[in-house]
Structure 1
Amino acid sequence: MEREMALADPETHGFDARRLARIDTLLNERYIAPGLLPNAQLLIARGGEIVHFSHQGTAREGGAAIDETSLFRIASMTKPITSIAFMMLVEEGKVAVDTPVHHVLPEFKGLGAYNGGGGGVPFMTKPTSEPMRMLDLLRHTSGLTYSFQNRSNVDAAYREGKLENWHGNYDLDEFVAALGRLPLEFSPGDAWNYSVATDVLGAVIQRVSGMTLDAFFRTRIFEPLGMHDTFFAVPEDKVHRLTDCYDWVPGGKKLFDRGEQSAWSRTPRLLSGGGGLVSTALDYHRFCTMCLNGGTLDGVRLVSRKTLDLMTLNHLPGGKDLASLSRSLFSETQNAGTGFGLGFAVTMDVAKTMMPGSVGEYYWGGMFSTAFFIDPLEQISMVFMTQLRPSSTYPIRRELKTLIYSALNR
């Protein structure tokens, strides 16, 4: 669904228009013209009003330029949406942040922490010091992992079992059962590790709500917010808008998923609350604006202001940052000065991040280099779309954030 859109005057919203324009120059000269990125779409808003919305590059190989209707695979930018969905159920009294996970997912009862074995040798486990709670799923302290971490025998078992294959043999219930047969990497709460925790949270949402995850998202979040271009599977009449997606390879990029024949045009067997959605910049802007407004947009309230306040506090044990607690070889953030809330990374110490920003801003990104941030103090939000994996290939997020804040007049 196309919606009418008018850009607000950046100058009256506290931005220097000439400084905003140089962001597009950087994107073109550094990334688009040399062929490092296939495209780049940048949306900047203040107080929910869009002050800058630019499009560069092509949607498909040899095809037309991207525009406001272009669809992008947002990968882990799905996670904040899943976290909001869970907190909606918390507000209804159906589950709590401190509920032990096995109370809803009995497959996780008795899960132990890794204590040796693997690689053809039976796993040995030890009892965990604390049960895994919903809090641990939300803040990635669950002891779960991702197969791509390539760090332990546990993530090797994930790879061997192809647990994260969205079009594989597992649905969400079967995925949870498979995880329940493997040890945790550590006792919940002992460390931070980027993981399939938000996919497990999706299974919790299904069990608690009695709805499939895609149905819950559609009826409880996307339709109420007017996010008509966000889904797990792109409808047939919108596939022509889905962009090509690429992998970085030495010396350039290689086509990973062709838009016109995309895997994202088929309903996945595993509905991934951790990374399965496709969306547009305008749709995700509506989600960001709802968050910036304290849980409401255009008369629709998803969660309360106090729930958003809770979600965007640092919940890491001992008030520590990721530099102190992270065991991840990869995540969608740098660690210094960064805490983690209930579904978002949260800036705790601006000086330690070594780039401009505000205490309390929250954000995340996806493996195809998409990103967003929300700064409640300055009332700024950003959505950035492109399609190149992995997201660590270029320091573009740092560059964008620096240039956006450098354009502020007041």
Structure 2
Amino acid sequence: MTLKIDPVAAGLDESRLDRIRDHLARSYVDAGKIAGCSVAVARDGHVGYYEEIGQRDRERGLPVTEDTIWRIYSMTKPITGVALMTLYERGVFQLDDPVHRWIPEWRDLKVKERAEDGTERLVEPLRPMSVRDALMHMTGFGMSTLSLRTDDKGRGFLDSDATLETFCQGLATENLDHQPGTRWIYGVSTDICARLVEVMSGQRFDDYLRTTIFEPLGMPDTAFHVPDDKVGRFAASYGRARDKSLRLLEDPEQSAYRRQRTFLSGGGGLVSTMPDYLRFTQMLLNGGELEGTRILGRKTVELMTMNHLPGGGDMTQFALPGGYGEVGFAGMGFGLTMAVSLGPVQTGQIGSAGDYMWGGMASTTFWCDPAEDLLVVFMTQLIPSGTFNFRGQLKSLVYPTLL
């Protein structure tokens, strides 16, 4: 696939678009802060800007290309949300249905309640954990449950023989850290959503994604592993050494993604390409449809991208102090697996109220702006995300190009 670039049709000011490449090349690639990246800007259904900068594999001297395969980590989450909402559209569940209807082992979960003197007791939940809670990181499961992502040999679930089913069975032995629906905790919730897809559909999660989203949308390179015939396109993963120099974290030839996995993480297990993820986000921006293929209804996408936080608040009111998400908390509401901007004044960033977005652990990010019919996707491989504010800088660069 070769992306067709038409800045005029996209309503973008060509004289200002070069600022995007200049900034990313000068400040990040040439400065050795990232090995390479790609960025795409689409508006009114047209890709108006696309650029490849630097290398996907610095050790082998391989450049970033359009078909480079990237670890998208938490940008898997909106895909999982879409998958679950396709089942909503079939009448399988309502948002406030209890999760224990599909995971009966959780029917008797208790909540840890802490007294002022530091003592702890177990109490009944004020209400059952709902499907909406799982879609919103508000299940009540705390950061301590992340320990369940390792098996008895100390391996992470992504590298073990665990499954979504055994993962949820493990969670049945845990207690909730908070009452469901009261705290926003970035943890295991979207893996729970993936398990709900499996139970509700009767299909394995990867098969459901393939038949319901990837094949209909034409996303051939989005998957939970990288087969041998594609490994030459797979990017290396990098981090920062103590001296802030770039260091290799995962060689694509040796990557765990090269084998089929049993733990199909709905929260962070996928790899993808720029063209694939553009098709997914364009489908969302189009109201659930792309090139005659409908994945979701328009009103369902609207439901997903509204702020569902209680009282219309932002994440500063519900996230734990010192907690982390893939976007900032100030001025950010949260929908069903995506953050939703309450407006540029509240966030302190240029844009529109109603932007929805998310990012991934390797510093990938995207946002969709329905008010401007605009979407931006950024791919790179630098862990952890949050090292640099790529989304904020890209917003400063992209919005001035809109005509």
TM (norm. structure 2) is 0.94
The yes-or-no answer on 1:41 pairing with 2:33 is no
Match of 1:127 in 2: 124
Match of 2:388 in 1: 394
- Distance of 1:30 and 1:383 partners within structure 2: 19
Q: Secondary structure at the match of 2:62?
A: coil
Q: 2:350 pairs with 352, 356, 381, which one?
A: 356
Aligned partners of 2:2 and 2:66 also within 8 Å: no
- Distance of 1:361 and 1:343 partners within structure 2: 14
- Distance of 1:340 and 1:21 partners within structure 2: 33
Which segment is superposed worse, 168-177 or 206-215?
Answer: 168-177
- Distance of 1:84 and 1:221 partners within structure 2: 8
Q: Secondary structure at the match of 1:83?
A: helix
Which segment is superposed worse, 250-259 or 294-303?
Answer: 250-259
Matches within 5 A, 1:229-378: 229-251=221-243, 252-327=245-320, 329-378=323-372
Q: Letter of the 1:78 partner, please give it.
A: T
1:145 Cα offset (Å): 3.5
Deviations 1:181-225 (A, max 9, x none): 111120101111111100010000001100000000111110000
Deviations 1:146-185 (A, max 9, x none): 4xxxxxx555676687695212242111000111111112
Q: 1:177 pairs with 169, 173, 176, which one?
A: 169
The yes-or-no answer on 1:226 pairing with 2:200 is no
Q: Secondary structure at the match of 1:377?
A: helix
Q: Secondary structure at the match of 1:40?
A: strand
Match of 1:212 in 2: 204
- Distance of 2:389 and 2:262 partners within structure 1: 34
Match of 1:66 in 2: 64
Q: 1:22 pairs with 19, 23, 41, which one?
A: 19
- Distance of 1:384 and 1:157 partners within structure 2: 31
Distance 1:123 1:163, change over 3 A: farther
Provide structure 2 residue ranges, at least 5 long, that are not aligned to the other structure.
none
1:301 Cα offset (Å): 0.7
- Distance of 2:379 and 2:219 partners within structure 1: 16
- Distance of 1:190 and 1:71 partners within structure 2: 37
- Distance of 2:127 and 2:252 partners within structure 1: 45
Distance 1:401 1:163, change over 3 A: farther
- Distance of 1:395 and 1:91 partners within structure 2: 36
- Distance of 1:123 and 1:182 partners within structure 2: 15
Q: 1:92 pairs with 84, 90, 93, which one?
A: 90
1:114 Cα offset (Å): 2.2
- Distance of 1:218 and 1:12 partners within structure 2: 32
Match of 1:150 in 2: none
Cα RMSD between the aligned structures?
A: 1.9
1:93 Cα offset (Å): 1.0
1:336 Cα offset (Å): 1.0
Q: Letter of the 1:365 partner, please give it.
A: G
Q: Secondary structure at the match of 2:159?
A: coil
Q: Secondary structure at the match of 1:255?
A: strand
Distance 1:92 1:362, change over 3 A: same
1:12 Cα offset (Å): 4.3
- Distance of 1:395 and 1:281 partners within structure 2: 20
- Distance of 1:291 and 1:145 partners within structure 2: 30
Aligned partners of 1:72 and 1:385 also within 8 Å: yes
Provide structure 1 residue ranges, at least 5 long, that are not aligned to the other structure.
147-152
Deviations 1:6-47 (A, max 9, x none): 211x24432211211111111011100111001110011002
Q: Secondary structure at the match of 1:114?
A: strand
- Distance of 1:160 and 1:334 partners within structure 2: 31
Aligned partners of 1:245 and 1:258 also within 8 Å: yes
Q: Secondary structure at the match of 1:309?
A: helix
Q: Letter of the 1:15 partner, please give it.
A: L
Q: Letter of the 1:91 partner, please give it.
A: E
Q: Letter of the 1:254 partner, please give it.
A: R
Match of 2:104 in 1: 106
- Distance of 2:227 and 2:400 partners within structure 1: 40
- Distance of 2:156 and 2:178 partners within structure 1: 20
Distance 1:342 1:35, change over 3 A: same
- Distance of 1:339 and 1:261 partners within structure 2: 39
1:250 Cα offset (Å): 2.0
Aligned partners of 1:24 and 1:54 also within 8 Å: yes
Aligned partners of 1:123 and 1:183 also within 8 Å: no
- Distance of 1:244 and 1:219 partners within structure 2: 28
1:48 Cα offset (Å): 2.1
TM (norm. structure 1) is 0.93
- Distance of 1:233 and 1:255 partners within structure 2: 20
1:353 Cα offset (Å): 0.8
Match of 1:83 in 2: 81
Aligned partners of 1:41 and 1:53 also within 8 Å: yes
1:68 Cα offset (Å): 0.2
Task: Tell me how many residue pairs correspond in the alignment.
Answer: 396
Distance 1:48 1:383, change over 3 A: same
